[in-house]
A = this chain, B = another copy of it.
Amino acid sequence: MKIAEIGEFGLIKRISSNLEFRRQGLIMGIGDDTAVFRPGEGKWLLMTTDMLVEGIHFSGHFASYEQIGWKAVVVNVSDIAAMGGIPACATVSIGIPPQLELEAVEEIYRGMRKAARTYELNIVGGDTVKCPPLLVINVTLVGEADEGKVIYRSGAAPGDIICVTGPLGGSAAGLQLLLNRDLECPEEARREALSFHLEPQARVKEGLLLSSEGLATSMNDISDGLASELHEISQASNTGFVIDYDLIPIADATKEVAKSCGTDPVHWALYGGEDFELVFTVKPRALEKVERLFAKCGFSLYRIGHVTEKEKGYLMRGGPGGEMQISPRGYNHFTE
């Protein structure tokens, strides 16, 4: 069935009737001029937004609509996680070509509801508009963090240890498989790499543990590639960094895909982006505690380098190129 057949109000009814409310504090969800909610006591609020455009950020040819909806929410959850917060309330604006099948929109919302359940947030409102010829999805997420416990990019200092919460480059590997369907690769590796790209996870629990224990001095989520994220931390903190080629975690599936492509997967880790792991810095004396807590919770932790004086620049040691400068490039809209 085409959207045009049921109209805006029919569509809103369809997509809002299935929303469950996952969190306390919601006073009015969908159904008035605005949503209304009560912030937790002693909480600071976090607010982030991401716009996803068909053909730029996603394609119905590459991903299922459910995966697109999932990812549209999770990329925002990841930004909240990168501050050490937890997600609370989301609004979803969706610009729809009128000839799109109703089922596609319902699938997008199915993916969003799945993400809302997984990360315990409420979808509290939104806007559905006509947008020929493109599907455009904008999610805005408000989250909460304990007063004063937010982790910024700016707190790193020379000597701090740099850690990440999971293997990197997997999303780029999955994208390669989508762009090049003939790429030969073991089935299990293919499935895993595709899932890195299409069904990313946000590291909310890891971020929350670090903020609640006051353990991280700075943090970012890896949405634009490790190189870009470390540069952001370094610029905000007025430092340099050095990372070790051999310590950058790469999943076996990513290595398999890289082998098929004849590429070094560390390149994907540095510049690929969309891995949605967290990169953070800790004081050397806090590292043991972080390791103990992460192990206790079953979280992954990889130590990959340390923060240096600004003058030392941005370095990677080891690996085929020897010591090299890491440039800050990531994906740049409008020039690429």
Contact = CB atoms under 8 A, between A and B. Distances in A.
A79 B127 contact: no
Given A38-B147, A43-B39, A334 B130 contact: yes
A220 B33 CA distance: 7
A154 B79 CA distance: 36
Interface in A153-212: 153-154
Interface string A32-53: 1111111100011111111111
Given A37-B45, A43-B39, A147-B38, A335 B152 contact: no
Interface string A130-143: 11101010101011
A331 to B, nearest CB: 8
A89 interface: yes
A295 interface: no
A34 B53 contact: no
Nearest to A9: B332
Contacts of A98: 334
Interface string A17-32: 0000000000110011
A79 B124 CA distance: 14
Contacts of A333: 7-8, 128-130
Interface centre among A129, A154, A333 (most CB of B within 10 A): A333
Copies of the protein in its oligomer = 2
Interface in A89-130: 89, 91-96, 98, 124-130
A138 B93 contact: yes
Interface in A43-100: 43-53, 55-57, 79-80, 82-83, 85, 89, 91-96, 98
Contacts of A8: 332-335
A48 B27 contact: no
A293 interface: no
A131 B334 CA distance: 9
A47 B93 contact: no
A247 interface: no
Contact of A33 (B89, B129, B138, B221): B221
A304 interface: no
Contacts of A45: 36-39, 45, 142
A11 interface: yes
Contacts of A15: none
A44 B34 contact: no
A121 to B, nearest CB: 12
A3 interface: yes
Nearest to A138: B138
23 contacts: A28-B150, A28-B152, A31-B153, A32-B83, A33-B48, A34-B46, A34-B85, A36-B83, A36-B145, A39-B44, A47-B140, A48-B125, A49-B92, A49-B125, A51-B94, A51-B127, A53-B131, A56-B129, A96-B334, A130-B333, A138-B140, A140-B140, A142-B142
Interface of A: 3-4, 6-9, 11, 27-28, 31-39, 43-53, 55-57, 79-80, 82-83, 85, 89, 91-96, 98, 124-132, 134, 136, 138, 140, 142-143, 145, 147, 150, 152-154, 220-221, 236, 332-335
